[in-house]
Structure 1
Amino acid sequence: MSEYKLTQGILALSDAEKWDIAKLEWVLDYIYEEHDSVCLCGRYPITEVCTLKNTRNGNETNVGNCCVQKFTGLSSNKLFQALKRIKKDIHRSVNAEVVSMAYEKKYLTEWERDFYLDTFRRTKMTEKQLTRRRIINEKILKGFSQ
């Protein structure tokens, strides 16, 4: 039933009338955590919210992390896990997907993105590099918590 509601909700907001074509119109635009949100499928409560944007008509809708994975195949779970990781320890690193999304959303400069991608797998970093990572992580968390 909930999958049917999700499909109908997305179709209503899409230009296409067929599911296989309509789902191609949508991209993951934003992720955030909010308690007591409702998914387009009707599931309540959801805390990991994904905002989807229709690239053809500009419509937006919020769906839960599970539903976005079902119909887009996007691994939004990896994004949420990375953000949780740096909330617990600001010196840890996020994954390339989070860095790319943060750059696309203009939370990071090109230099910060390049620095992060060059160093995010390193286990040994200088004090200066660790400080820079912490500053960038704070910018990422701030951007995704707006």
Structure 2
Amino acid sequence: MGDGYNFQQLKAAILTLSRATDWEVAKKEWRLVEISEADEPETCLCGHFPIIELCTISNATTAKSVDVGNVCVKRFLGFRSDLIFQSLKRVRADLDKAIGPDATAFFHERGVINDWEYQFQQSTMRKRNLSARQLASRRVINQKVIAAVRRRGLS
């Protein structure tokens, strides 16, 4: 993987937790189920340290779950978790900003935002000048999303 990420180590760990023994088959068993942020740096399955932005992936066949860094989940599953974390950073800094399309879809699929909120996000995502009611709705949605991402570690 390069850049301090050991693909062979990640591959071996994932294969151990999978039913399949072939890498291409094994990686199809895994899905991104949750994202979280660590209070204290953790180590990814690939051996990379430090990671703060954690992605919990779960194996649909074996029901095993494991945390990996967002770079590995992007390279491993092809899922752009980095875009979800970027959206979180943006709305934490300014609740008036919109969460991105990837974050909107992720949180809708997990039931954090409902169908109406999902449609609202889709229709107002690119708008800069919202009415007072629209802005209030955006802030409520953003607060729900921020609250849904748990913090792990020392509390």
TM-score, normalised relative to structure 1 = 0.94
- Work out which of the residue numbers 111, 117, 127 in structure 1 matches 2:116: 111
Moved over 2 A (4+): none
In structure 1, the residue matched to 2:63 is 58
Take 2:128 and 2:141, find their aligned partners in 1: how far apart are those partners?
17
CA distance in 2, matches of 1:56, 1:117: 33
**Two-structure CA RMSD over aligned residues (Å):** 1.3
Q: Where does residue 29 of structure 1 map in the other structure? A: 33
After superposing the two structures, state which structure 1 stretch, 130-139 or 109-118, moved more. 109-118
Picking from 6, 19, 22, the partner of 1:15 is 19
1:85 Cα deviation (Å)?
A: 0.5
Give the Cα–Cα distance (whole angstroms) in 2 for the partners of residues 57 and 118 of structure 1: 39
Structure ranking higher on relative contact order (CA contacts 8 Å, 6+ apart)? 2
Length, aligned pairs only: 146
Match of residue 97 from structure 1: 102
The runs of 5 or more residues in structure 1 that have no matched partner are none
How far residue 65 of structure 1 moved from its aligned partner, in angstroms, is 1.1
Q: What letter corresponds to residue 63 of structure 1 in structure 2?
A: V
CA distance in 2, matches of 1:145, 1:40: 20
Extract unaligned runs of 5+ from structure 2. none
Is residue 127 from structure 1 mapped to residue 139 from structure 2 by the alignment?
A: no
Letter in 2 for 1:108: I
Q: Offset of 1:113 from its aligned partner?
A: 1.2
What TM-score does the superposition give when structure 2 sets the normalisation length? Answer: 0.89
Matched, 1:76 2:76: no
| TM superposition shift of 1:145 | 2.5
